[in-house]
Structure formats: C-alpha cells, structure tokens
Structure 1
Amino acid sequence: MEFTKYCSGLLCSIVLTILLAQPGHAQNSEENEYGSWLVLCGNAKIHEDWSIPAVGIIRHHHMLDKYGFFFFRTGASYKISKASTFTGGFALLNSNSYLEPNDVVNTNQLWLYGEYTLKSKFNDNSLAHRVRFENRRLINTEDPKVNNRIRYRLQYVRPIYKDVYFKAFDELFLNLEGNTYGQNRIFVGVGREITPNLKADIGYFNRRFKNYNEDMIRLSLSFNIDLTKNDLALQTDK
C-alpha cells in the first residue's frame, strides 16, 4: 500500500515538473546534443551552528567531451534555526567559449556570494527555498567586467521506496543591470541515499537562456562530514 502511494505521488510529481519545464521551445546551441554536468558537493560541520560548504562542478558541451567550465565554491554557513541557514563566501570559475570551431577563448571569474536557505517538511516530502546574491567579475583580463544577479531556487524531494527518492528543482536567475532575465534551470531526476551521509542523484538538467537552451545529464554526489565528533581523536590517542 505504501509503495503504491509513493508511486502515485511520484508520477504526479514527474508530470507536473515536465509540464512546468516546457514553456516554449528554444534553439539548442549544440544541435540537440546532450552535455554533462558533474557535481561533487559536501558540507563539513565544524561547530554546532557553523559549517564549511564546498561545491565542485565540471560542465561539458557534449557528454563528457568538449570542456565547458570548471567551478569551485566554498565559504562559511551559519545555522540560524533548524530550518534556515545563511551562507557567504567566494567561487572561482574557469571556462571556455567556442566562438568558432578553431577559436577558443578561456576566461577566469571570481564570484562573491551570500545566500539564505529555508527548508520545510510535510509528511515525508521536503521543500527547500534558496535565495542567493552573486557579484561576478572577470579576472586576469584588461576588461574586468562585473555582473550582479539574484537567484531563486525551489527544490522538491519525495521518497520513492526505501533509500530511493525523486528530486526536482527550478532556479531562476535575474540580472540587476542590463537584461533582467538571465536564465532558468530545471532538474528532474532520481537519487539514492547510499549512507546517512552520502547521496547520489542523476537526471535531466536544462538551462534555458533568452534565445537558446542547453540539455544535459546531471550527476551529483553529495556528502556530509561532522568534524565536531572526537572519534578520530580518541583513536589517535590510544
């Protein structure tokens, strides 16, 4: 009975997400080829209320081929309450732009960011709201352009069966100068809780810009480390 209830809810979630993901069709910049989006993210707890997040992303225009960018983000997170967290820090990005088949431009960026996350649960489902401000600037260039933007992400997670879950999110990017609309990201997939502190998920990922969109397969591995536990120290003292 429980399994049937989860499957029914999962089906409704998938249908709703797909419908929301299709506001219109835009030209794919890579001739409808799927790219890859690989994510390794983690959180190290260093105090009851403080932790250090870390996110690494590698993006390819084709599946594991034609390097797009490498992204690394870290900082410090403060737990305001059981449901809310504030995080601030910096990020580094290295990217390739393919202007022509044989013309590749490599650039580096430095980002400063601050974000607020609010989580809630109902039954076995969970919702997470995330609002982030980003200050992005080109570095190692004679023309250090600066861009400020705001991102809002709504994420939904629903258990399917035992340690397998359904996951979907939508994230809107708004520029604070120039064209307001930046992009919109949608993810629909499934994941598994390998251990209480290790999860993996995979699914369809889309980035929709004003005049084109990118289709990708997104694979993510996330972990949590609690450095406040003294088990390691006790073992070392023996």
Structure 2
Amino acid sequence: MGRTKYFTVLFVLFFLIAPGLKNTSYGQMENEGHPGSWTVISGNADLHEDWSIPLVCLMKHNDVLDQYGFSFVRTGVTRQLSRSSKLTAGISFFNSSVYGENESIKNSSQLWFYGEYVFNLNLRKDVLAQRFRWENRRTLNSEDANHNNRIRYRLQYIKPISSNIYIRSFNELFLIVEGSSFDQNRFYIGVGQRLTKSLKLDLGYMKRHLKASSEDMIRMELTFSLDLTKNDLAQHSQ
C-alpha cells in the first residue's frame, strides 16, 4: 500500500472512530481541555483562465466531531489578476449554536459579504502567501439585528518535503473595524498530501485565541479543483 493510500485510510478511520471516543455534555460551553475539530471542504471551479468560482464549506465542533459549534458556506467570484495575485468578492452564510444551562441551545445565523486579495510569493519550491480580507457581517432572524465590519490578515507558508507531501502553516489575525478591537487569532501547522492532480488532503493542529478564551482544534481540510474550461463534452457532441 502506497503512502497516499495510508494517508487516506488514516483520515477515514479518524472520522469513523473519533465520535465514539468521548461522551458529550451539552450543558457546558467549554470543551474542558478536549480538542475540538475543524473540518473544511474547499475548492475552485475554473470558468476561464482568469475567472473562477470558489467554494468553502466548514463545520466546527466543540469536541472532536461532536457537539456542533458552527458552520458556514462561502462562495463568490474570483478574478486572476496575475500569476501571483487574485481578487475575490462574494457572500457567506453562517450558523452557530451556543449551549447554555439545562441543555438549552440557542441558534443564530448571519449573512456575510466579503472581499479579499491574495498575493503569492514563490521562494524556489516554497510558497509564501498573504491574504487580506474584509467582511461585513449581518445578523439574521433576530430581534436585535446588527452588523459589523471585520478585517483579516493571513500569512501562510507551504514547504514541499516530497513530490506529493508538504508542510503547511499559517497565522491569521482578526480585527473588528468598529473600535479597532481584537476579535481572534488563528495559528495552524500540519501536513498535507496531494492525492490526485485535483485533490489534496490536509491534517494538523490549530490554536484559536479569542478575546477571553482559547481553543485547541484538530483541523482537517479536503481541497479540490475543477477545470470547466475544457470543452470535451462539446467536442463529443459534434
């Protein structure tokens, strides 16, 4: 069995076994030292050599794959400005649950509008990427509807260690524009593997620092890419 198969089997087994490792207490808001999980499916569909549609689906659990925390779906339109830079504008839908006393659960939803600029710097085989993002977040289905603006800056480093395996690390700072107040910081380090030409898998550790607390997360991400610029179907139909 090759390394790709080993990595894939490990990932699948983790998803199957992890939910049974511990019992969930819904009356507690904190995970009391247990790591949470952060699962992501992300990718791009190329419509043109300069235009693409991004898609991100994320789910966060307070315990590993247990006790739902929040989820969101994000999409938009990306314009490739150059080989090393791109600009994206889009929309996100966010849903979250807060667990209170007596197993009470409070749900809330938000609609986000965002814009981002990404610049990549290739250092031989290594890649250093900067991402600047602005978000306008609006509360839905709530009597106390409100909105705020948030800016984010992420610095990411990817270092290949073989033809298909790489180390990935990033740090991202979040600031609320109103009052220029700190919102959170995310640090991640992990390993990834290119499974196919259009599919990658990442697994690692992420630390979230919030205003009054912090969280340890196991972060898993499956990344895909689709090339819709090919005209194979049209050629076969002629």
- Is the TM-score greater than 0.5? yes
Task: Give runs of aligned pairs for residues 34-73 of structure 1, distance below 5 A.
Answer: 34-73=35-74
User: What is the deviation of 1:179?
Assistant: 5.9
Give the whole-Å Cα distance in 2 for the aligned partners of 1:85 and 1:153: 15
Counterpart residue number, 2:138: 137
Residues 91-125 of structure 1 show CA distances to partners (whole Å, capped at 9, x for unaligned) of 00111011325121000100000000000111110
User: What is the deviation of 1:210?
Assistant: 2.1
Give the whole-Å Cα distance in 1 for the aligned partners of 2:180 and 2:85: 31
- Identify which of structures 1 and 2 has the higher relative contact order when contacts are C-alpha pairs closer than 8 Å and 6+ apart: 1
Give the whole-Å Cα distance in 2 for the aligned partners of 1:221 and 1:210: 29
Alignment size in residue pairs: 210
User: What is the deviation of 1:145?
Assistant: 1.5
Contact 2:118 2:129 in 1 (8 A): yes
User: What is the deviation of 1:196?
Assistant: 1.8
User: What is the deviation of 1:47?
Assistant: 1.1
Give the whole-Å Cα distance in 2 for the aligned partners of 1:225 and 1:84: 19
Give the whole-Å Cα distance in 2 for the aligned partners of 1:66 and 1:79: 39
Counterpart residue number, 2:118: 117
Give the whole-Å Cα distance in 2 for the aligned partners of 1:213 and 1:225: 36
Runs of 4 or more above 4 Å deviation: none
In structure 2, stretches of 5+ residues that fail to align are 1-28
Residues 16-70 of structure 1 show CA distances to partners (whole Å, capped at 9, x for unaligned) of xxxxxxxxxxxx9321111111000010010121100000001100011001111
Amino acid at match of 2:143: E
SS of 2:234's partner is helix
Counterpart residue number, 1:176: 177
Amino acid at match of 1:119: N
Counterpart residue number, 1:89: 90
In structure 1, stretches of 5+ residues that fail to align are 1-27
Give the fraction of aligned pairs with identical amino acids, expressed as a percent.
Answer: 49
Contact 1:40 1:221 in 2 (8 A): yes
Greater Cα offset, 93-102 or 126-135:
93-102
Amino acid at match of 1:90: I
Residues 187-207 of structure 1 show CA distances to partners (whole Å, capped at 9, x for unaligned) of 100000111211110000111
Task: Give runs of aligned pairs for residues 125-204 of structure 1, distance below 5 A.
Answer: 125-178=126-179, 180-204=181-205
